[in-house]
Amino acid sequence: MTDIHRQILAWIDENRDHYVTFLQGFILERGPNPPGDTRSTCAYVKRYLDELGLSYREISPHPEMPNLVASFEGARAGRHLVLNGHMDVFPVADDGAGWSRDPWGGQRIDGRVYGRSAADMKAGSTALIATYALLSQLRGKIAGRLTLTIVSDEETFGPWGARHLLEHHPEVRGDCLLNGEPSGPESIRFGERGPLWIEFTVRTLGAHAAYVHMTKSATKIAMQIAAELEALTELRGQLSDNIRRAVDLGRPTMDRMLGLGAGDLVANVTLNIGTIRGGVKVNMIPSSCAFEADFRLPIGMSKTDLLPRIAEIAERFPEATWREIGGSEPSWCDPGHEMVGIIQANVEALGHPRPTPTVGLGGTDARLWRHRGIPAYVYGPRPHGMGSHDEYCEIEEFLHVVRTHALSAFDYLSRG
């Protein structure tokens, strides 16, 4: 470990309570998506950057979904590293029912910070903001450029956040991306499965519940379609040998970081029926039913591989129509990239187990860089309660992510 590494770590230790306090305040700025209004969250980050004297641009293709971009040059020419996090968060259902803590409270209890977005991903975004601020003090020691992107509209794969930046502001593309989404500190995500969202609508004549001879039931047909869709979960992606080896080696780590069984899911299609709406009264045969299916495609597969299979199933039910309502292709990059080695070396130097390259089960904005051929890696805390109740982040784990991001960003740029 170099003198500069020790200086970075000393700065982080001096400011540890400051980072935790920032994370707590970050959680208080809600920004659930939908609807996706992150204006107060963005203002919170801007105030922090202003206090540090760091310049930035606010880019707002949607008036309620701003994005922040900050960038600085090192002392000499070199590579361009981009840091990417998001401000919008999952909603909280039923006014916090099922939570033992205030879902928007940002409470610090027993070494944890609780609240919606504590894990996904305001801990990671805080680590990236801290990394940018720390390295801005070392710009004379690094080469190339460091860019920070803190965006909106990630949770619904919408067009107003990172996708807008990449399409309209090529200066944020860079040579490599580091993201802080929850992954678990023993894993480095080099790829992720691709979500494919399909809406099915079934319409029939409908009738009194006693007259089942008069009409088919829209809800029963919907249940049949959903049951047949389950057969698609046997499909697997086609992988090159090196990617297959990385996927297989990463399975045990995925089980530890994401729960037993996570490693078994990574190479297969999965299906979730997220919503279903049908019928108006128990003694009426429903004349309409709609449901939304969330498929997750493994790496090595495209939606063009799955859509014909879905169409084939739907054709067997003339009462049904369907349409694609969202999603993104799977993405992956080199699990042996230099950035992976840099992160692994720093994690080990910090006294933690060497992290393993893995594939993420959920989606992140990192996919957008990978789709453009830019290597993008995710290193963040465990996903405790993500999208569920009592979401939290372990404070020491959060600070470990801050240290790892800061050291790894410096190493990548100082070698440029």
Domain extents in the chain: 3-192+330-414, 194-240+263-327
Residue (of 8, 151, 154) closest to 82 by Cα position: 151
The pLDDT value recorded for residue 157 is: 80
The pLDDT value recorded for residue 224 is: 98
Residues 6+ apart with CB under 8 A from 193: 266, 270, 296, 297, 298, 299, 330, 359, 360, 361, 362, 363
The pLDDT value recorded for residue 156 is: 83
Q: Which CATH code is given to the segment(s) 3-192+330-414?
A: 3.40.630.10
Residue 89: its H or E element: none
- Give Dmax (Cα) for the chain: 82
Residue (of 357, 355, 306) closest to 330 by Cα position: 306
Sheet containing strand 288-297, strands side by side: 270-278, 288-297, 194-203, 320-327
Burial, 97: exposed, middle or buried (Cβ in 10 Å; 0-12, 13-18, 19+)? exposed
Query: Which residues in the chain show pLDDT less than 70?
Result: 416
The pLDDT value recorded for residue 329 is: 94
Residues 191, 393: Cα–Cα separation, whole Å: 23
Topology agreement, domain 3-192+330-414 and domain 194-240+263-327: no
The strand pairing partners of 347, in sequence order, are none
The strand pairing partners of 396, in sequence order, are none
Residues 377, 408: Cα–Cα separation, whole Å: 12
Query: What is residue 392's three-state secondary structure?
Result: strand
Residues 23, 29: Cα–Cα separation, whole Å: 10
Q: Which residue has the tokens 């998001």?
A: 86
Counts for the chain of helices (H) and strands (E), in that order? 12, 18
The rounded Cα 243 to chain-centroid distance in angstroms is 21
Residues 182, 90 contacting (CB under 8 angstroms): no
CATH topology of domain 194-240+263-327: Alpha-Beta Plaits (3.30.70)
Residues 124, 400 contacting (CB under 8 angstroms): no
The pLDDT value recorded for residue 416 is: 66
